[in-house]
């Protein structure tokens, strides 16, 4: 299970505005997980900005960011969709769709100007997004006696190990979330700390959304 970055899901899409040479570039960004959702979002922007000359777009999907598509929507080939897509790539993001709507201001920007304008508009929108790193963690249930609880909890705090609510019964079960790459080393340390006086049970391998910004 790999780590990947995406943007936080929100009820509303992110919106930014960039103006140059009287043209307005309105950027909308949304978290999506399927091509159908990406297309639906693009269509909703085209419907919303039906009077705009261009609604250019790009999306990246999949845990490996291996599904990518861009659309110039009437702008000269490669001057709109590709710069938007490149902005997404440079941020290392996936499961995201970006639409940049252009209201033409009457002054032609040229191919180079369009590439810079669409790329900059996309970057402005991405800078407003809350970025999450979807990181794998292994669930590990550790059952110990109460006499070991204080020292184990101290170790957990020291190592900044994530955990969920413990279960208290005849013994205590601590539900730890361990990075797979560190699991073996951490459990060795716990073995030394407790003289191997614990019962271990592995649970699911899940991703946790860790905020980057």
**What pLDDT was estimated at residue 187?**
97
Q: What is the pLDDT along the chain (213 residues), one digit of tens a residue?
A: 889 999 998 867 789 999 999 999 999 999 999 999 999 999 999 999 999 999 999 999 999 999 999 999 999 999 999 999 999 999 999 999 999 999 999 999 999 999 999 999 999 999 999 999 999 999 999 999 999 999 999 999 999 999 999 999 999 999 999 999 999 999 999 999 999 999 999 999 999 999 998
**Chain centre to alpha carbon of residue 22:** 33
Domain positions in the chain are 4-129, 136-211
Which residues, listed in sequence order, are joined to residue 51 by a DSSP beta bridge?
Answer: none
* Neighbour count for residue 175 (Cβ, 10 Å): 16
Strands (DSSP E) found in 32-130: 54-61, 67-71, 96-103
User: Which CATH class, in words, describes the domain spanning 136-211?
Assistant: alpha beta
209 SS3 class? strand
CATH topology match: 4-129 vs 136-211: no
Q: Which residues contact 202 (CB under 8 A, 6 or more apart)?
A: 138, 139, 140, 141
Quickly tell me which residue has 């709507």 as its tokens. Answer: 101
**Chain centre to alpha carbon of residue 154:** 32
CA pair distance 66, 131, nearest whole angstrom: 19
**What pLDDT was estimated at residue 192?**
97
Q: Which fold has domain 4-129?
A: Ribosomal Protein S5; domain 2 (3.30.230)
Share of the chain residues as helix, strand and coil, in percent rounded to the nearest 5: 30, 40, 30
CB 1 within 8 A of CB 205: yes
Q: At what angle do helices 146-158 and 183-194 cross, to 10 degrees?
A: 140
105 SS3 class? coil
Written as six digits, the tokens of 30 are 């949304």
């Amino acid at each position: 299970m790999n780590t990947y970055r995406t943007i936080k899901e929100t009820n509303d899409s992110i919106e930014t505005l960039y103006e140059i040479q009287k043209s307005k570039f309105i950027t909308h960004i949304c978290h999506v997980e399927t091509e159908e959702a990406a297309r639906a979002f693009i269509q909703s922007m085209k419907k919303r900005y039906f009077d705009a000359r261009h609604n250019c777009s790009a999306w990246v999907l999949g845990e490996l960011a291996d599904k990518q598509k861009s659309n110039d929507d009437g702008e000269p080939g490669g001057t709109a969709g590709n710069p938007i897509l490149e902005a997404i790539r440079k941020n290392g993001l996936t499961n995201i769709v970006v639409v940049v709507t252009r209201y033409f201001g009457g002054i032609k920007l040229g191919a180079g100007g369009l590439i810079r304008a669409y790329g900059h508009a996309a970057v402005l929108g991405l800078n407003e997004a809350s970025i999450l790193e979807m990181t794998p963690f292994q669930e590990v249930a550790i059952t110990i006696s109460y006499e070991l609880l204080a020292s184990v909890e101290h170790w957990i705090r020291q190592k900044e190990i994530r955990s969920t609510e413990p279960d208290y019964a005849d013994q205590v079960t601590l539900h730890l979330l361990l990075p797979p790459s560190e699991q073996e080393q951490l459990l060795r340390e716990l073995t030394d700390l407790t003289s191997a006086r614990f019962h271990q049970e592995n649970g699911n391998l899940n991703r946790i959304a860790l905020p980057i910004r």
